[in-house]
Amino acid sequence: MRPSRPPPPPPPRRRPQLLYRQAGSATDAYNLAESETKAQSERIVQIAKLVVAGQDRISTLKDRAGAAARAQYRSNGLPPGARLALSDSPSDFLDGAGRLRQGEKATTDLLAELNRTQADLERYAKDAGAVWQKMEENRVKKEAAKKEIEGKIKAAEDLESRLAAEEKARLLQLEQEAQYQAQTAWLSSGAMKDVKGLASDAGKRAVQFATAQMGKPYVWGAEGPASYDCSGLTSQAWLAAGRPIPRTSQEQLRLLPKVALKDMRPGDLIIYFDDASHVGMYVGDGAIVHAPRPGRNVTMAGAGSMPIKAVVRPDA
């Protein structure tokens, strides 16, 4: 049996597109690590505040314990039985014994609270250690993703730089023709036949924001206002509409409610490709606004110009 041969390389005009797609996947990994790092940094700040509050509480409890000890010393620390024998008035003693029992309970409660607060501080320290570990893991992921992104983009740009001006124009024309053919085939399939959904108020605001960014350049990892990557555009558009959503296209797919294509309405997000590495916002009439890839600007495109994986709704 002959060994299987590796798949043939893509034709030259498709190689830059493939590299940009791979850079897009790596960008999603970078953005996810970045958003997790932000959340972990916020958690570290919260833990630090809890530690300070816990230390202040322990200081207060120790002061109270010291005051109780000094009060006991002033009473010579005599046990209740001895004080009863030495008391001139049994009724005064009984009143004092009641107060003593209350004081003993208060001391017991104080020590229990002190122990609980110290246990809390130990737990905070463990939590902080775990968060720092995750932050370090995300730092490593970000560095690896950044290296991959920059490598893929440089390789694609190097390929494009070797092309003559006429070849570059032809490459762009072929790319646009492929998108047009995909969109035409998608519309011809009847995919849009039953799509008549109307945008919600929040969806209108999200669409208004996204379309206002048209013409701004794609920059990987960017969330505006001067440039965007694909999920940076969609997440910021919905943030402007008052609905914070996950930062990356993969997390948008995972965490936002899915809707059927026929129920799609303006403002919904269309996730593309099997690895969910690209996202655009549906704006109506079979079109999306999206940040395509490095070297391109935020623009309109056909909703079916790329392989659709799912449709999700931020304001379900």
- φ, ψ for residue 311 (rounded to 5)? -120, 130
CA quadruple 215, 218, 223, 226: dihedral, nearest 10: -50
pLDDT tens digits in sequence order for the chain, 316 residues long: 445 555 554 455 557 778 887 888 888 888 888 888 888 878 878 888 888 887 777 777 777 767 766 666 665 555 555 554 455 555 554 555 455 555 556 667 777 777 888 787 888 788 878 877 877 887 888 788 888 888 888 888 788 777 777 777 777 788 888 889 999 999 999 988 888 889 999 999 999 999 999 999 999 999 999 999 999 999 999 999 999 999 999 999 999 999 999 999 999 999 999 999 999 999 999 999 999 999 899 999 999 999 999 999 999 8
Helix, strand, coil percentages in the chain from 3-state DSSP, rounded to 5: 65, 10, 25
pLDDT value of residue 1: 44
In the residue annotation, 25 being an active-site residue is answered as no
Strand partners, 302: 287
Is residue 165, in this structure, part of any structural domain at all? no
- The active-site residue out of 156, 195, 222, 230 is 230
Domain count, the chain: 2
- Asked if residue 150 and residue 48 are part of one domain, the reply reads yes
**Residue 82 and residue 145 in one domain:** yes
Residue 21's identity, in one-letter code, is R
Residues 34 and 115 in one domain: yes
Domain that holds residue 49: 12-158
Catalytic residue among 142, 146, 278, 309: 278
Considering the entire predicted model, what is its pTM?
0.66
Residue 1 located in a structural domain: no
Strand partners, 297: 217
Q: Is residue 230 part of a domain?
A: yes
Name the strand (E) or helix (H) holding 302: strand 299-302
Residue that terminates a domain, selected from 106, 138, 158: 158
For residues 110 and 217, state if they share a domain.
no
Question: Which domain CATH number covers 91?
Answer: 1.10.287.1490
Is 172 marked active-site? no
Pick from 130, 158, 186: which residue ends a domain? 158
Same domain, 143 and 204: no
Q: What is the CATH number of the domain that holds 291?
A: 3.90.1720.10
In a domain, 5, yes or no: no
Last residue of a domain, which of 158, 179, 210?
158
Distance CA 126, CA 132 (A): 10
* Any domain includes 184: no
Residue 230 among the catalytic residues: yes
178 within domain boundaries: no
**Considering the domain boundaries, does residue 118 fall inside one?**
yes
Q: Are residues 138 and 208 located together in one domain of the fold?
A: no
Task: Indicate the SS3 state at residue 281.
Answer: strand
Q: What is the pLDDT of residue 26?
A: 82
Question: In the prediction, which pLDDT does 196 show?
Answer: 87
Is the residue at 185 inside a domain? no
